[in-house]
Amino acid sequence: MAKSKPGSMSRALVRRETIAGYLFLLPSLVFFLTFVVYPMVMCVVTSLTNATMTASGTSDFIGLKNYIDLFQDKTFLKALLNTVIIVVVSVPTVCVFSLWVGARIYNMKNWACSAFRVIFYLPVVTGSVAVTVVWKWIYHYYNGVLNYVGTNLGLWEKNINWLGDSKFALGCIILILFTTSVGQPIVLYVSALGNVDQTLVEAAQVDGATDLQVFWQVKWPQIMPTTLYILVITTINSFQCFALIQLLTSGGPEHATDTVMYYIYYSAFTLYKYGYANAMGVVLALCIAALSAVQFKLAKSES
């Protein structure tokens, strides 16, 4: 019996394995195409139309008009600015605070480390609506705990309308976002710091490195992938801040807490401007993609 050539056998095997691989991939691919790629394409297509809610379901192609209108829409620009402020304030503070807490607790006794992780992770596993309602009562103008404590301690003279005053509203939102965002990064940092190669740490200490030097020269490079993940996730979450706004301020007062996500929702589901809302969605996606790319680039060059 003639033997097949080894090369052709290998190609046949590769082909069969490739087919089998794609077959196993197919279910996920179907889901991915249906629920990710198709909506993304439709979002871009719809953003070029004046789609709205009508019985006929028809819409006209209007080119880039929605995009041009967007950048002349003061409310959108305000929402974009607020979103950027949230991201710029929230992302570094969440990362720094999480790293600090993680570094303080990761080498504690097991029970203490677990207790801290539970405490910081609780707001994450608690429903965002429940958390928001509690914060709403903390900030309440007339009967809120914050005003009660503040006025009784003499920190301020009379009640402050935390969510109703444009000077404070965005800060209050960022504070809530902060408390609900730090849980996961802390857990991740505790895990990452626990996995740092102890031999390198000990070698550095033997060489006379200070604690700070050990941290920055030895530990920091090893937890860089975790940091990058946290940066990207926190950035995306901050850009997508919606539930807090919807439940607490409806974008007010005076658009002080409008975010792009909330404005998308408002345009689509209150004003029925589907095309316009999709254009905003595209712009938001581009912003997130650009910022994530920058973060990847910076983190790579640093590591």
Partner 1 sequence: MKTIRKALALVLALCIVLSLAACSTGSEDPDPTKAPDPTKAPDAAQSEPVNEPAGNDLTANLTLATYPVGKMTDEATVKALIADFNAVYPNVKIDLVYLDYSNGDQTVNGMIEANNAPDLIFEGPERLVANWGAKGYLVDLKDLLPAGTYDVTVGSCTNAEGAMYELPVCQTAHCMGINKDLFTQADAMQYINEDTHTWKSTADFLKAVEAVAAIHPNVGVVFCGGQGGDQGNRALVTNMYGGQYTNPEFTRYTGNCAENVKALQALVDVNGIEFDPGIAGSEEIQLFCNGTLAMATCWNVGAAKSDTQGKTANFEIFPMAFPTESGDPVLQGGIWGFGIFNNGDETKIEAAKAFAKFMTEDEAQYKKIVEATGYWATRDVSGLYEGDEIMTEYGKLVPFMGPYYQITLGWPEARTAWWNALQRIGNGGDVQTELDAFVAEANAAAEAAEAG
Which residues of the chain form contacts with partner 1 (CB under 8 A)? 16, 20, 23-24, 26-27, 30-31, 53-57, 141-143, 161-166, 249-250, 252-255, 266, 269-272
**Nearer Cβ to partner 1, position 272 or 296?**
272
Which pair of structure tokens corresponds to residue 189? 């940092």
Taking the C-alpha atoms of residue 108 and residue 168, their distance in angstroms, rounded to an integer, is 37
Q: 219 vs 255, which CB is nearer to partner 1?
A: 255
Q: How far is the CB of 34 from partner 1 (least distance, A)?
A: 8
Q: Looking at beta carbons only, is 150 or 253 nearer to partner 1?
A: 253
Q: How many angstroms separate the CA atoms of 257 and 86, rounded?
A: 10
Query: Shortest gap between Cβ of 78 and partner 1 (angstroms)?
Result: 11
CA angle 283, 170, 243 (to 5 degrees): 65
Which amino acid makes up residue 168? F
Shortest distance, position 158 Cβ to partner 1, whole Å: 9
Minimal distance in Å, beta carbon 159 to partner 1? Answer: 9
Question: CA angle, corner 231, sides to 41 and 280, nearest 5?
Answer: 30
The nearest distance, CB 66 to partner 1, in angstroms, is: 14
Q: C-beta of 254: minimal distance to partner 1 in Å?
A: 5
Nearer of residues 27 and 154 to partner 1, judged by Cβ: 27
Residue 52 to residue 275: CA distance in whole angstroms: 7
Q: Which is nearer to partner 1, 241 or 291 (CB)?
A: 241
Nearer to partner 1, 19 or 290 (CB): 19
Distance, first Cα to last Cα, the chain: 57
